[in-house]
Amino acid sequence: MDRDTAEPDTGGLPGPNAARWVEYHGTHAAPSEYSHEFVWDITREADGPFVTDVDGNVLLDFTCHIGAAPLGYNNPKVLDKLAAFDLVEPMKIAGQDLYFGAGPDPDDSLVPGSSHLMERLTEVSAEYGMDTVFLSNSGAEAVENAMKVAHDHKPAAKYGYAFGGSFHGRTLGTLSLTKSKEVYTRHYPQIAGIETVPFCADRTCTAETCACGFLSESGSQLRRSLSPEGGHVNPEEVAFIVLEPIQGVGGYRFPSEAFMREVGAVSDEYDIPLIVDEIQSGIGRTGEFWAADHYDIEPDVIAAAKALRVGATVSRSELFPAEKNRLGSTFGGGDLLGSMMGTFTIEAIEEHDLLANARSRGRQAKELLRDGAHDSVVDVRGKGLMLAVEFDTPARRDAVVAEALSRGLLTLGCGKKTIRLLPPLDSTEREIDLGVSIFLEAVEAAGSVTATA
Ligand SMILES: Cc1ncc(COP(=O)(O)O)c(C=O)c1O
């Protein structure tokens, strides 16, 4: 397969082999969120955004595994580095305090591991003074540990603040912060003391025009709830404010400058640690390394995962517990390959200037999507290659996802009636042209779907 000339080529999805694999998988797998009609064949050709399925269909993948494969498939920008090593068994490192070395000197090590990944993460977070990392296995664990760090730092705290529409993971701790869909949380026990405030509903809003109820000319809901006059929460007792700088699962919701400035100001003024969940939005997806970098806020803790292949809680050393064994994880940092892939991904972003590429390819995609927008499109939005198209109804959105898939373009829904597009960070102009033109054909084809709510 040649990425420069590849095109989607499908003969009907799901094909018979995919149906067999899905049925086999479903025999023993607990029902989960997604049931893709496409099954990637890891023995067949794939390059960047192009992938071959078990029936030989070639697809253009604009999901990047929800950002967990930020450079698509078999990308030489990371693969060449991996191939240079005569790798040993990709063992799991048992115990957070055990790590591997490769040769006598970490500075000259050819094989990066979890120690190098932590160094890279602190380099890209230096503007926030962050110098310390705790590695774990998943996004949820990265957020859980951020909560623990914040509570350890403020032992008397009884409260935390989260935002409407949020998604922070599926462990019991993170579900207490997750406010997007009730299917995630129904009947599960909640951590006490989590206060919920609205998340911005209009990315251009000001205090005068705020539509979500968060901002008003007399101050924000967050600020009023903490006020000595009339508030019901003592700021001294608040361990953290946690937010996704751009909401993912909740619908690719981009907050306004005014909203973010106020969240940052309250965190500063009341000395409440601000945890930013960058699990979907981080590692270059938005054209900055962290989505928080777009806004006037100063995060105290960053939770990352997905594109890193491991979970990471990043902060300043003074916030982390000094006591040994306060945090821990048997497999924190993943296996030998996990941390290495995370390190190579950060290096690829830097060596190939992929932040700039994400910004320019994102601009290209937004322009094309806006120019070609059908009447059913309510909004086209995005930063870098974290892109979204919102439709008039959920039925229309679902029809577009299906029409795109039948043409060989993989997309993902989010929120109630939005499609998210996450092309690889090194997407080319041709790939964006191709993907958007297929997407616009799909929107046209779905145009006749009855617009029911
Ligand atoms: C913003 C955000 N936070 C947390 C998580 C949870 O990550 P994980 O599924 O790795 O536990 C996700 C996963 O989609 C996410 O998008």
304: CA distance to ligand 1 center in Å? 9
Count the Cβ atoms, other than its own, within 10 Å of residue 276.
28
Do 345 and 405 belong together in one domain? no
Residue 69 lies in a domain: yes
Q: Which two tokens stand for residue 125?
A: 């977070």
Element spanning 46, H or E: strand 46-47
Residues 184 and 297 in one domain: yes
Task: Give me the mean pLDDT over the 262-267 stretch.
Answer: 98
**Tokens 């930013």 map to which residue?**
276
Residue 130 belongs to some domain of the structure: yes
Domain shared by 423 and 393, yes or no: yes
Reported residue count of the chain is 453
**What are the phi and psi torsion angles at 418 (to 5°)?**
-120, 145
H helices, E strands: number in the chain: 12, 15
Burial class (CB in 10 A: 0-12, 13-18, 19+), 100: middle
Which strands, in side-by-side order, build the sheet including 412-414? 377-383, 386-391, 418-421, 412-414
pLDDT of residue 35: 63
Give 173-219 pLDDT, tens digit per residue. 999 999 998 999 999 999 999 999 999 999 999 999 999 999 988 88
Given this model, what pLDDT does residue 440 score? 98
**Quick check: is 87 in a domain?**
no
CA-wise closest residue to 392 among 416, 371, 413, 422: 416
Query: Is the model more confident about 100 or about 306?
Result: 306
pLDDT in tens, 88-103: 777 677 767 667 788 8
Q: Report residue 447's pLDDT band, with 50, 70 and 90 as the boundaries.
A: confident
Q: What is the pLDDT of residue 84?
A: 79
Does the CA dihedral 249-434-347-78 come out positive or negative? Answer: positive
Burial class of residue 265 in the structure, from the number of CB atoms within 10 Å of its CB (0-12 exposed, 13-18 middle, 19+ buried): middle
Domain count, the chain: 2
Supply the pLDDT for residue 8.
Answer: 97
Average pLDDT, integer, range 15-34: 88
**180: CB partners within 8 A, 6+ apart:** 165, 166, 167, 247, 249, 250
Ligand 1 centre to CA of 136 (Å) is 13
94-100 LR contacts (CB < 8 Å, sep 24+): 94/330, 94/331, 95/328, 95/330, 96/134, 96/135, 96/327, 96/328, 96/329, 96/330, 96/332, 96/333, 97/328, 99/333, 100/336
Q: Work out the pLDDT band at 132, boundaries 50, 70, 90.
A: very high
Q: What's the pLDDT at 417?
A: 97
Question: What separation in Å is there between the alpha carbon of 156 and the centre of ligand 1?
Answer: 28
User: Which of 136, 168, 422 to probe ligand 1 with, by most ligand atoms within 8 A of CB?
Assistant: 168
CA proximity to 278, closest of 116, 128, 390:
128
Q: Are residues 254 and 303 in the same domain?
A: yes
What CATH number corresponds to the domain at position 284? 3.40.640.10
What's the pLDDT score for residue 450? 60
Distance (angstroms) between ligand 1 centre and the Cα of 7 equals 31
Counting Cβ atoms within 10 Å, is residue 172 exposed (0-12), middle (13-18) or buried (19+)?
middle
CA of 142 relative to ligand 1 center, distance in Å: 9
- Neighbouring CB atoms inside 10 A of 52's CB total 21
Å from CA of 168 to ligand 1 middle: 6
Pick the residue whose CA is nearest to atom 3 on ligand 1: 168
Ligand 1 atom 9 nearest Cα: 139
Is 83 inside any structural domain? Answer: no
Domain co-membership, 345 together with 360: no
**Which residues of 244-344 form beta strands (DSSP E)?**
274-277, 301-304, 311-315
Q: Which of 304, 324, 351 is the last residue of a domain?
A: 351
Kindly give the number of the ligand 1 atom that is closest to the alpha carbon of 249: 16
Work out which ligand 1 atom sits closest to the CA atom of 247.
1
Q: Are residues 117 and 176 in the same domain?
A: yes
Looking at the structure, tell me whether residues 175 and 315 fall in a common domain. yes
Can you tell me which atom of ligand 1 is nearest the CA of 306?
10
Distance 281 CA to ligand 1 centre (A): 10
**Residue 37 pLDDT more than 90?**
no
- Segment 50-96, tens digit of pLDDT: 999 999 999 999 999 999 999 999 999 999 988 877 777 776 777 67
The atom number, within ligand 1, closest to the CA of 140 reads 11
Closest atom of ligand 1 to CA, residue 138: 10
**Is the N-terminal amide bond of 423 cis, ω within 30° of 0?**
no
Nearest CA to ligand 1 atom 4: 168
Least confident of 24-33, 74-83, 122-131: 24-33
Structure tokens at 56: 């030989």
Mean per-residue pLDDT for 340-366? 97
Which range (18-22, 137-141, 270-274) has the least confidence? 18-22
Instruction: Judge whether residue 453 has pLDDT over 60.
Output: no
Indicate if the pLDDT at residue 333 is higher than 90.
Answer: no
pLDDT at 58: 97
Atom index in ligand 1 nearest the CA of residue 311 equals 10
**Residue minimizing CA distance to atom 8 of ligand 1:** 139
Residues 322 and 296 in one domain: yes
Q: How is residue 48 written in tokens? A: 């960047």
Nearest-angstrom CA–CA distance, 42 and 51: 9
Q: What is the distance, to the nearest Å, from the Cα of residue 318 to the centroid of all Cα atoms in its chain?
A: 27
Task: Measure 229 CA to ligand 1 centroid, in angstroms.
Answer: 37
For residue 56, how far is its CA from the centre of ligand 1 (angstroms)?
31
What is the span of the domain harbouring residue 362?
A: 16-77+353-448
- Residue 346 and residue 357 in one domain: no
* Structural domain includes residue 82: no
* 237 and 113 inside one domain: yes
pLDDT greater at residue 31 or residue 46: 46
R_g (Cα) of the chain, nearest Å? 22
Domain membership flag for residue 88: no
Q: What is the mean pLDDT of residues 388-406?
A: 96
Q: Name which of 129, 134, 87 is nearest 115 in CA terms.
A: 134
Check whether residue 270 and residue 377 sit in a common domain. Answer: no
Share of the chain above pLDDT 90, in %: 82
Q: Is the pLDDT of residue 451 over 60?
A: no
**Residue 373 covered by a domain:** yes
- The rounded distance, in Å, linking the Cα atoms of 186 and 345 is 37
- Residues 148, 242 share a domain: yes
Distance 135 CA to ligand 1 centre (A): 15
**Residue 249 in this model has a pLDDT that exceeds 80:** yes
Query: What is the average per-residue pLDDT within 256-264?
Result: 97
Query: Of 335, 351, 367, which one is at a domain's C-terminal end?
Result: 351
Of 321, 351, 381, the residue at which a domain comes to its end is 351
Stronger pLDDT, 424 or 83, i.e. the higher one:
424
| Nearest atom, ligand 1, residue 278 CA | 1
d(CA 331, ligand 1 centre) in Å: 18
Confidence at residue 86, expressed as pLDDT on a 0 to 100 scale = 74
Of 17-21, 55-59, 104-108, 247-251, the least confident: 104-108
Ligand 1 pocket list (CB less than 6 A)? 66, 138-140, 143, 167-169, 244, 248-249, 277, 279-280, 305
Specify the pLDDT at position 233: 97
The whole-number average pLDDT for the span 340-362 is 97
Q: What pLDDT shows up at residue 337?
A: 87
Tell me if 91 is assigned to some domain.
Answer: no
Pocket perturbation via mutation, ligand 1, pick of 276, 306, 329, 422 by most ligand atoms within 8 A of CB = 306
Query: What is the CATH classification number for the domain harbouring 72?
Result: 3.90.1150.10
Q: Report the chain's mean pLDDT, rounded to a whole number.
A: 94
Nearest CA to ligand 1 atom 5: 169
| pLDDT surpassing 90 at residue 285 | yes
